[in-house]
Amino acid sequence: MALNQKTLEKMKGMAFTVAVVMVMAIAATDAQTICNMPTSDLKACKPAVTPPNPPPPTSTCCSALSHADMPCLCSYKNSNLLPTLGIDPNLAMKLPSFCNLPHPANC
């Protein structure tokens, strides 16, 4: 039985929705880490990467970022997921500079 185009598109949409829900569930659990950053520290950085008028990153955000796996975080820069979570990838890429941290190579 072949699937029609409409059914395939519905399945893709459901898969994307499930992925977003899973990431949000992980982000809601403080015991989880992403790229060596506890989700509570990621939350501390969110205002600084949320348009339209983000404040500078807090010292908590910068401290957490200094311990993060920067190449891992960099792997999310072209992700379609960031905008769906209200994160501007361009603002996120500026965080190391705002925190006086080295910018990861090839990022």
At residue 5, the pLDDT reads 62
At residue 12, the pLDDT reads 47
DSSP 39-66: HHHHHHHGGGGSSSSPPPPPHHHHHHHH
At residue 98, the pLDDT reads 92
At residue 2, the pLDDT reads 55
- Per residue in 88-103, is it b (16+ CB within 10 Å) or e — as a string? beebbbebbeebeeee
Question: How many CA atoms, within 13 angstroms, populate the side-chain half-sphere of residue 50?
Answer: 10
Question: Do residues 11 and 73 lie in contact, with contact meaning Cβ atoms separated by under 8 Å?
Answer: no
At residue 6, the pLDDT reads 61
Tens digits of pLDDT across the chain (107 residues): 555 666 545 544 444 444 444 455 545 544 578 888 888 888 889 999 998 999 999 999 999 899 888 888 888 888 887 888 788 888 988 999 999 998 877 78
